[in-house]
Amino acid sequence: MQALLRRLPIESYVIAFTIALWVALAWATPNFLTESNVSNLMRQTPIAAIVAIGVMCTIVIAGIDLSVGSVAAFCGVAFAQMCRHDFGLAPSAALTLLAGVSVGLTNAAAIGRLGIPPFIVTLAGLQVYRGLALLLAGGMTVGGLPAEVKDFARGTTGLPNLFWTMLAVAIAVHYLLRYTRTGRYLYAMGSNAEAARRQGINTFRITVVAYVLSSGLAALAGVLLVSRLSIASPSMANAYELQAIAAAVVGGASLFGGRGTVLGAVVGAILFTTMSNAAVLLGVDPFWEMVLEGLLIALVVYLDNLQKRRQSGA
């Protein structure tokens, strides 16, 4: 039995914990299992999960992306401005994603070519893109968007469209990581970059893949966020990077690289969204919620550290 428990992937524990939390919440408050709250959760989670999936890819190569929150805000504001100026919904969305991809290319170039540590590059990005978001929005919330902007996020196809979007992203990235050479090389590089290089793997290309995915998905999250809120605020998606990192790590990604799964990032995101939902429902002071979230992140990273040490000690 113990051996079986040890062999269960970390995702299963997170799933079990999340379900336990759901049960507890359903029991503790009549407002949890209502249709509006559940559908709210099904719209909130996908955006967090999409960001977490991207960040997880950078964590797998032993990197990090702290800029995703700011990139989501910047791209969201850019998207809103384009929509407001009648670029059309699809062209605006496409251009926004392209902007996200360029951000990723820039990050990868700074890390892989200039040799600046990912932490520093993306910390700078966190500041730069938040500033650009504020500039682009003129420091104010961008509203007055065409009605069709919000149709996507509000719409359902059986389940909320946002949920399907997350599922599509998750399947695509899972396929990439699990079944393709590129995916395998992400893990190889995060595990031992020198060994990967000696086997002829182009580690710069792999760096580009990871950071473009991260920024690209952050841009997608920005578009979806604007669609959900039907406004774009330059201060939105604040601290998304922390939630995304925490979600990925709770889901089994190691900050030392080489480990992490899409499923883990998604369940991690579900857990964190449930927790902030619970805080709202139970009337916990949002400032305390920040404190608790921060402590949880520290705990998770400590556990990651512990696991790594135990492994190398064996």
Partner 1 sequence: MNPILEVVGLYKSFGPVEALRGADLQLRAGEVLAVVGDNGAGKSTLIKHISGVYRPDAGQILLAGVPLDLASPREARERGIETVYQDLALADDLSIGANIFLGREPMRRLFGILPYIDERAIRRETADLLKKIRSEIPPEAPTVARLSGGQRQAVAIARAIYWQAKVVLMDEPTAALAVMERERVIAHARDLAAHGVGVIYIGHNLTEILKVADRIAVMFRGRTVHVTTTGATDQETLIKYMTGYSETNKAA
Least distance CB 13 / partner 1 (angstroms): 17
% helix / strand / coil in the chain, to the nearest 5? 75, 0, 20
Q: List the one residue from 196, 250, 278, 297 that touches partner 1 (CB under 8 A).
A: 196
Q: Is 264 in the site for partner 1 (CB under 8 A)?
A: no
The CA distance from 302 to 269, in Å, is: 19
The CA distance from 171 to 175, in Å, is: 6
Least distance CB 199 / partner 1 (angstroms): 4
Q: Is 194 in the site for partner 1 (CB under 8 A)?
A: yes
**Candidate ranges 75-83, 181-189, 276-284, 294-302; the one touching partner 1 (CB under 8 A):** 181-189
Binding string, 233-262, against partner 1, x = CB under 8 A?
Answer: ------------------------xxx---
Q: Is 184 in the site for partner 1 (CB under 8 A)?
A: yes
Q: Is 12 in the site for partner 1 (CB under 8 A)?
A: no
Which residue is listed with tokens 């774009």? 232
3-state secondary structure of 156: strand
Number of residues that bind partner 1 (CB under 8 A): 24
The CA distance from 311 to 14, in Å, is: 21
The CA distance from 198 to 207, in Å, is: 16
Q: Is 206 in the site for partner 1 (CB under 8 A)?
A: no
Q: Which long-range contacts (CB under 8 A, 24 or more apart) does 271-274 make?
A: 271/14, 271/17, 271/18, 271/21, 271/247, 272/48, 272/243, 272/246, 272/247, 273/41, 273/44, 273/45, 273/48, 274/18, 274/21, 274/22, 274/25, 274/41
The CA distance from 119 to 122, in Å, is: 6
Asked if 65 contacts 118 with a C-beta cutoff of 8 angstroms, the reply is yes
Six token digits for residue 12: 């299963």
Least distance CB 166 / partner 1 (angstroms): 21
Q: List the one residue from 31, 39, 192, 203 that touches partner 1 (CB under 8 A).
A: 192
Q: List the one residue from 12, 127, 156, 180 that touches partner 1 (CB under 8 A).
A: 180
Q: Is 307 in the site for partner 1 (CB under 8 A)?
A: no
Which residue's CB is nearer to partner 1, number 13 or number 87?
13
CB atoms under 10 Å from CB of 240, counted, come to 25
Q: Is 201 in the site for partner 1 (CB under 8 A)?
A: yes
**Candidate ranges 47-55, 136-144, 152-160, 198-206; the one touching partner 1 (CB under 8 A):** 198-206
The one-letter amino acid at 158:
G
Six token digits for residue 190: 């995060």
Least distance CB 192 / partner 1 (angstroms): 5
**Candidate ranges 101-109, 123-131, 157-165, 184-192; the one touching partner 1 (CB under 8 A):** 184-192
Q: List the one residue from 12, 34, 156, 199 that touches partner 1 (CB under 8 A).
A: 199
> Could you list the residues that contact partner 1 (CB under 8 A)?
175, 179-181, 184-185, 187-188, 190-192, 194-196, 198-201, 257-259, 311-312, 314
